[in-house]
Amino acid sequence: GLSLSWPRQVAFAVMGEGSRQALIRQGVTEDSATVISPLDPARTDSDTLVEALDLPGLAGKRVLIVRGESGRELLANALREAGVTVCQVAA
């Protein structure tokens, strides 16, 4: 599990079940953190993740996006348009 305590008010957002399972293997559960994912598990892409987010509620906040080298900009752009400060890290 995680070797440090994750602040409950800092949510995770994941694209799909594989990412959710990776968090669980690290000790992150629905009881220990808020985990946001696409509402339709059959569609796991940036578009459906954006639909699951409370964009107005994120205005003025900071978001870290960990993504692949060739990831799309849709999520980052939607967050920025909602007034979110976005930092991206390629992993």
Residue-wise pLDDT for 15-68, tens only, equals: 888 888 888 888 888 888 888 988 888 898 899 999 999 999 999 999 999 888
All residues at 6 or more sequence positions from 74 whose CB lies less than 8 Å from its CB, including other chains? 46, 47, 50
Provide the residue range defining the domain that includes 84. Answer: 53-91
**Domains: count for the chain:** 2
Whether residue 65 contacts residue 88, with contact meaning beta carbons closer than 8 Å, is answered with yes
Q: Is residue 35 part of a domain?
A: yes
pLDDT of 79 reads: 97
For residues 3 and 53, give the distance between their C-alpha atoms in angstroms, rounded to a whole number: 28
For residues 91 and 83, give the distance between their C-alpha atoms in angstroms, rounded to a whole number: 25
Same domain, 37 and 58: no
**pTM score > 0.85 for this model?**
no
For residues 66 and 88, give the distance between their C-alpha atoms in angstroms, rounded to a whole number: 6
**Better-predicted residue by pLDDT, 16 or 79:** 79
pLDDT of 48 reads: 93
Q: Is residue 47 part of a domain?
A: no
Task: For residue 14, give the 3-state DSSP assignment.
Answer: coil
Q: Is residue 48 part of a domain?
A: no
Q: Is residue 13 part of a domain?
A: yes
Q: Is residue 85 part of a domain?
A: yes
Same domain, 67 and 89: yes
Q: Is residue 22 part of a domain?
A: yes
Whether pLDDT at 84 is above 80: yes
**Better-predicted residue by pLDDT, 78 or 6:** 78
